[in-house]
A and B are shown apart, each in its own frame.
Chain A
Amino acid sequence: MNETNQKMSADDLEALLPWYAAGTLDRTEADQVEAALAADAELERHLELVREEMNEAILLNEALGVPSARVMENLFKAIDKERKTARTPAQGGLGAWLRDWLTPRTFAFAAGAAVVVILLQAGIIAKLSLGDRSEGGSSFETASAPSPTRGFEIGAFILVRFSPQASMADVTRFLDSRDAVIVDGPRPGGPGGMYRVRVSRTYLGKDELDRLVREFQSSNLISMAVPTE
């Protein structure tokens, strides 16, 4: 290495000192700087100057304080305002649409709407069922695909009343995780009504059904659960 190269190398190392002091060099560069510092007292002195500058720059910036509360107020007002503006997937892409849609407020509204849909569906199921019975039949039919099968009648069932604070999402998650499905309801029986939930596609013994009932009862989403036919 000739004299010029040594000088260049020293300049490069000197230029890296601010980042070395800030701890933002990658390991390779930091190692090179450390090796040079160990061998060069003048470079070490320059590093001290850099540290002085850094300390004062930090103090200066910290002394600038923080923004007032109005910034956050204005920001979230603006966000709320934009959220109120109808946004479709085509305008903002699926990600943007989902991001907007999945706000607590809209989520709660959507959950409520979903409950209405479910209740309506359950009502249709119940009506179909009653209709069948009045005509001498005795089986349930799915609302989406009426058929002569008796699929929903086979299995094990629990009569459930959901807690008023249970959201549709929570209920869906709870039932899905147990492969359970609402097959009827709401039936009279207190606020929100009672729902007949199929908890197994096959018949379950009393002990197993009781265990599931206890599991349902232990959930804070459910205010009441009893075995049913």
Chain B
Amino acid sequence: MQVLFARHQARVYRFVLRLVGNQAMAEDLISEVFLDVWRQADRFEGRSAVSTWLLAIARFKALSSMRRKPEEELDEEMAGAIEDNSDDPEVSVQKKDKSAALRRCLQLLSPEHREVIDLVYYHEKSVEEVAQIVGIPEATVKTRMFYARKKLSELLKAAGIDRGWP
């Protein structure tokens, strides 16, 4: 259990933190995630990667806890959850800091789009694995990823960076 925890805790924590936007809540949730994993160890059938299983449990717990919290509190916490010392998109563009603007725009995506972006780019999940974690068809995964990227381009364009796509 210690090995499993040591190996996956950071990524599961980051995934949950991106969903709930509150560090204390994210920490409580990942404790619950790993406790559930410990309880359900004999149910894991090895058909998917352990990390996929963990993220699916984490996602379920995060969404359940978010449903229990007032919307306003979440929004406020979400805004302050991720430390970003970069300037706002406009200023970044003035500085020609495309990377900082891109990061800022990634944070401005809807939770749904942010989630799929994180799962694909950061957690390196295949189409099939994202479908398992999020609980949607594989075709929807591809569509959602496409629209997430499209929205990202729109945000960048609004901030003065035209990527010429889509």
Contacts and interface: CB of A to CB of B under 8 A. Distances in A.
Nearest to B82: A64
A56 B18 contact: no
B107 A60 contact: yes
B124 A15 contact: no
Interface in A10-32: 14-16, 18-19, 21-26
A49 B149 CA distance: 10
B65 interface: no
B133 interface: no
Contacts of A76: 1-2
Contacts of A26: 126
Nearest to A23: B124
Contact of B9 (A59, A67, A79): A67
B152 A19 contact: no
Interface string B2-16: 100100011001100
A100 B18 CA distance: 33
B118 interface: yes
Interface string B135-153: 0000000110110010010
Contact of B27 (A15, A25, A49, A71): A71
Interface residues on A, range: 35 or more
A2 to B, nearest CB: 22
A50 B126 CA distance: 15
Nearest to B123: A61
A95 interface: yes
A59 B146 CA distance: 21
Interface string A37-66: 000000001100110111111111111101
Interface string B29-68: 0110011001101100000000000000000000000000
Interface string B88-114: 000000000011001100110000000
B74 interface: no
B83 A63 contact: yes
B103 A60 contact: yes
Contacts of B69: none
A208 interface: no
Contacts of B127: 19, 24
B5 A75 contact: yes
Contact of B145 (A15, A45, A49, A64): A15
B120 interface: yes
Contact of A78 (B31, B121, B142, B145): B31
A46 B165 CA distance: 8
A74 interface: yes
Nearest to A24: B126
26 contacts: A16-B142, A18-B121, A18-B149, A24-B124, A24-B126, A26-B126, A46-B165, A50-B149, A53-B102, A53-B106, A53-B117, A53-B121, A57-B106, A57-B117, A57-B122, A60-B106, A60-B107, A64-B14, A64-B18, A67-B27, A71-B31, A75-B5, A78-B35, A82-B39, A93-B42, A96-B42
Interface of A: 14-16, 18-19, 21-26, 45-46, 49-50, 52-64, 66-68, 70-72, 74-76, 78-79, 82, 93, 95-96, 99
Given A53-B106, A70-B27, A93-B42, 8 more contacts: A18-B120, A53-B152, A60-B103, A62-B14, A64-B14, A67-B10, A71-B27, A79-B38
Give me the 6 closest cross-chain CB pairs, A-B, nearest first: A95-B42, A57-B121, A24-B126, A54-B121, A61-B122, A67-B13
